[in-house]
Structures are given as C-alpha cells and as structure tokens.
Amino acid sequence: MTSRAVRRPVGTVTRGTTNPNRLRRMDRWIAAAHGAALRRVDDPVAVDLGYGAAPWTAVELLVRLRAVAPRVRVVGVEIEPERVAAAKSCERDGLVFVHGGFEIPVAGRPMLVRAANVLRQYEEADVAGVWERLCGRLAPGGLLVEGTCDEIGRRHVWVALGPEGPRTVTFAARLGSLERPSDLAERLPKALIHRNVPGEAVHAFLRDFDRAWAAAAPYASYGARQRWVRAVGDLAGDWPLADGPVRWRQGEVTVEWSALTPRG
C-alpha cells in the first residue's frame, strides 16, 4: 500500500493580529471599485487570505460586499489549522473557512483575493513571486488587493492588481489622525516600504503630498477633509491619480502603479 503525500499550504504563519473593523477602509474601496465586476458574474467568490487569529475580517467582508453584490460568497483562508477550526462556528450562508495559503485552495478562480497584513513579515524579494502566484489564481476581471494597515484601521496603504499585475496604489486614512500625509509611510506595503528613500518614486510622491498639504493649510479651518481634498487636487497636476473628488472625500487617493514603481 502506498501513502498519498499531503500537500502543505504555501506560506508561513503570520502573527494573526486582528481587530473588528480594522479593514473597513479597504473593504469600502473594494466595494466601490470592484462591486460592478462582482455583480457581472454568476458565482462571485471572494477570498480573505490570512484572516488571522479571529474571523472578524471575513465576516465583515461578506456583509460589505453583499451590500453591492448580493450573490457574493466569501472564503476565509488561513494557514494555521487551529485558526480555521476556531472560525468554523462563524460559518453561514455565503461564508466558509478553509485551511490553506498562497495556493488559494478554492474551486475555480476567485473574483477577489484580499491579502491584508500578510506580506509584511516577508522579505521584499518574496513579494513579486507571491503577487504572481495570487494573480495567477484570479478569474478574468478579478482583483488582488494587498496591503497593510495599523491595528485599528486608521491608516492603510494597498496595491490593487489584476491578472496582468499591479495597477494602482491607494493611500487611505482617518484624516483626523494625520499630522501630514507622509505619516502613511509606516503603512506602505512590503513592495514599497523600503523604497521610501530619496531617488525612489514613492518617496517623491510623499514629499510632494506633504508640500501640497502644507500649502492647503488655510483650508484646515473648514476641516481636515477639505484640506485633504485641496491637497490631493494639487497633486493631480503632477501625479497620475486614478480617482477623483468622490473618493478623496473619503480620505483616499489612488495613484497609478506605474508612477510609483520601485527602481531596479
């Protein structure tokens, strides 16, 4: 009798830190940017990859996506078996939890993979390979969203990728928590966080953003949101932004990846 080899999930166990509502800014953006694509397919599947020690983020993703795409199903994928077992009690219609990693052990190809605070512990050199693997699992028209946020979701930066690779970078914040836009540098995803140095595009972008923020100081009397909108509007003259005032008023700005691509 021969034994069948058990395939091990691809990846390493994360710290698993999570909090309710931690990913609300990312979820809100996904719903706005990708909701129509999710509605167009008969069986839209979204993956919450590496949801952590508690299943809150997957539960919240289901609720937020179903508000714009009622047929969506969410699969929470975790590499730590004990976390999967603990999450099973939260399963419901449209939500299941499975053991796995970057191989994404779901039938077919998902329309969305969200990987928040997963790659932060990896080496920068690992990122391109992980992105390629995850993008290779996407359905046509699918989206990978990979990024990092603080513990309670006030500051967040993420990269959006399609099957062809990276498309945009989004900076999002609770504006009252910012002294200056470059405060978001500490939440840059792994592909960019070590590139916030002179000579790199992301450093130049944050430098220009701080200058625009300082120039918009008179608008602070109308509130941080008005100051942000004014500063982002000034940035649009020099940087290829992929969104407009509707998203800016949410405390967001999305930049084309091509403008921030790391050197070398």
**56 and 170 inside one domain:** yes
Q: How many domains does the chain have?
A: 2
CA–CA distance, 168 with 238 (Å, rounded to integer): 16
Is residue 261 in some structural domain?
no
Domain boundary among 145, 174, 203: 174
Banded pLDDT at 16 (limits 50, 70, 90): low
**235 and 160 inside one domain:** no
Domain boundary among 130, 145, 174: 174
* Run of H or E including 87: helix 81-87
pLDDT at 10: 85
Instruction: Name the residue range of residue 217's domain.
Output: 195-253
Q: Nearest-5° angle of CA 147, CA 148, CA 152?
A: 135
pLDDT at 4: 39
**108 and 203 inside one domain:** no
The answer to whether the CB of 74 falls within 8 A of the CB of 110 is: no
The answer to whether the CB of 204 falls within 8 A of the CB of 218 is: no
Per-residue pLDDT of 82-127, as tens digits, reads 999 999 999 999 999 999 999 999 999 999 999 999 999 899 999 9
Is residue 263 in some structural domain?
no
Tokens, residue 99: 């053991």
The answer to whether the CB of 105 falls within 8 A of the CB of 74 is: no
**12 and 114 inside one domain:** yes
Is residue 112 in some structural domain?
yes
Per-residue pLDDT of 128-175, as tens digits, reads 999 999 999 999 999 999 999 999 999 999 999 999 999 999 999 999
CA–CA distance, 58 with 46 (Å, rounded to integer): 10
